[in-house]
Amino acid sequence: MTLEQIYNQHKNLVYNLALQYVQNIEDAEEITQDVFLAIHNNLGDFQEHSNLATWIYRIAINKALDFIKAKKRKKRFAFITSIFLLGSNEIEHDLPNYNHPGVELENREALSSLFRKINLLPNSQKTALILNKIEQRSVQEIAQTMQLNIKAVESLIQRAKKNLSKRITEAKELDKIIV
């Protein structure tokens, strides 16, 4: 199978998954490029008997998490340099770059707030939640992708939901205090 054939079959799967992690077109495109570059470099190591989609999913998840980690590191570094370079034009502010093309206008505000909370979850909980709730994958498929057992995946999803509802309640209480 050539890279072009794999790309044509799985491009939307990778791009949409990347979008759920970064909620922004430019970053999702960059992650998609990284994923197919990794596929190109490791295609020889791929074992024919395993599932190609699962393998690609796993690469996409790892690349998305790596990208987020690198971005956070870059932001931290920019903040530190901005302290030492006061008055220079290099000061960068952490502007929210939420630009998810799959979100309709009426849900935009609700999802923007929800994604902010999802982004604060630990990586494994976040991945389990994204695969289950947004990508509509079964627990068995998630277990295969994350290389965990079914019970562990169910527990991750439960903990993610619990953490999210806790954060939502806290935010609502804070809103009441402000109003």
Partner 1 sequence: MELEVLTQIKKVEVSPFLFTRIQQRISEVTIIKFSNKTSMSLIFALLVVIVLNIVIMQNYSIPQNKESEFAQSMNIITYNGIYNE
User: Interface residues with partner 1 (CB under 8 A)?
Assistant: 3-4, 7, 11-12, 15-16, 19-20, 29, 32-33, 36-37, 40, 100-104, 107, 110-111, 114, 133-134, 136, 161, 164-165, 168
Nearest distance, CB of residue 14 and partner 1, angstroms: 8
Could you please report the per-residue DSSP string of 35-98?
A: HHHHHHHHGGG--TTS-HHHHHHHHHHHHHHHHHHHHHHHHHHHHHHHHHTTTSTT--------
**Closer of 1 and 110 to partner 1 (Cβ):** 110
Locus of tokens 């690198």: 70
Quote the least distance from Cβ 28 to partner 1, whole Å: 9
- 39 contacts 59 by C-beta, under 8 angstroms: yes
| Minimum distance, C-beta of residue 37 to partner 1, in the bound complex (Å) | 6
Q: Measured from the CB atom, is 80 or 110 closer to partner 1?
A: 110
Nearer to partner 1, 22 or 100 (CB): 100
Cβ neighbours of residue 46 under 8 Å, at least 6 residues apart? 52, 55
Sorted by sequence, the CB contacts under 8 Å of residue 57 that are 6+ apart come out as 13, 17, 145
Comparison of 61 and 160: residue with beta carbon closer to partner 1: 160
How is 121-157 classified by DSSP, letter by letter?
S-HHHHHHHIIIIIS---HHHHHHHHT--HHHHHHHH
Nearest distance in Å: CB 88, partner 1: 31
Q: How far is the CB of 134 from partner 1 (least distance, A)?
A: 5
- Residue 4 or 48 having the CB closest to partner 1: 4
